[in-house]
Amino acid sequence: MDGILAAVPSAVCVSLRISCRNLDNAESIYHFPGKSLNRVSVLQTGNYVSRKGNSLLKNRHCGEISRVIVKSAASSVGNAEDYAEETATSVKFKRSVTLPGCSSPLSLLGTGFREKKFAIIGVKVYAAGYYVNESILSGLSAWTGRSADEIQRDSSLFVSIFQAQAEKSLQIVLVRDVDGKTFWDALDEAISPRIKSPSSEDTTALSTFRGIFQNRPLNKGSVILLTWINTSNMLVSVSSGGLPTNVDATIESGNVTSALFDVFFGDSPVSPTLKSSVANQLAMTLV
């Protein structure tokens, strides 16, 4: 119990102690114009407001209220540690996830956002979190001791991550409503130029990819998972909110999957903040 109390903000504890000592006098009296005889007693804990005089205060022991507040505060502290926030969009990403089609949990390696410019105004479209199977990191010992800037400039490191025979995934969270076709057109605009001579396999894969988003509204909060199972197979999952639980399609083309990876981690990434965040985390991990 002492350990839990230590995690509760001191202001909460002080307020709680004062409330307990003054249990019999814990009324806040408000007088309304023209109704001086009407009195409203208020006890507020979080969003809960109790009226009707002392009915709650005198029927519930202070210790019970204390336990509820302590449990809630401790739970909030614990939950916060399980997430990382992408600060520009305030989107929170779980530090560890188990995704559809993956054999083991993946760990968050960095976050960023995608911004689209209209005239001279930058509009944030989505936040992104990049996850990897931690076994991938053991194969990056050649970059031990490198700075974040060196890692970010070294394309061979990201190529090694892509070629590693373990799952990695990009989680995209929309921060504004986007038409599915518009989303795909923007993605295709980045992918297609990276495939110099598309094969029939590439064309089929792009058609499958396109079909996932056609006539599909992507509302704010929608989540898209792009999960590389290996260098030639990528799973696509979409949900209207929260992590998807099913795979919507499998993209089977080494050129398409590698082109998509390059869109985010190549020399000209569509989200520089994501690549920078991943480089910073790698620099702290590879020591």
Q: Is 56 left (phi over 0), alpha (psi -120 to 50) or beta?
A: alpha
Q: Judge whether 194 is annotated as a binding position.
A: no
Helix/strand/coil for 183: helix
Helix (H) or strand (E) holding 80: helix 62-81
By 3-state DSSP, what share of the chain in percent is helix, strand and coil, each rounded to 5? 40, 30, 30
User: What's the distance, CA 131 to chain centroid?
Assistant: 11
CB–CB of 196/110 below 8 Å?
no
Which distant-in-sequence residues (6+ apart) come within 8 Å of 13 by Cβ? 5
- Fill in the amino acid letter for 86: E
Helix (H) or strand (E) holding 125: strand 121-132
User: What's the distance, CA 181 to chain centroid?
Assistant: 24
Q: Judge whether 114 is annotated as a binding position.
A: yes
Helices 254-265 and 272-285: crossing angle in degrees, nearest 10, is 90
Binding residues for hexadecanoate: 114, 126
Binding residues: 114, 126
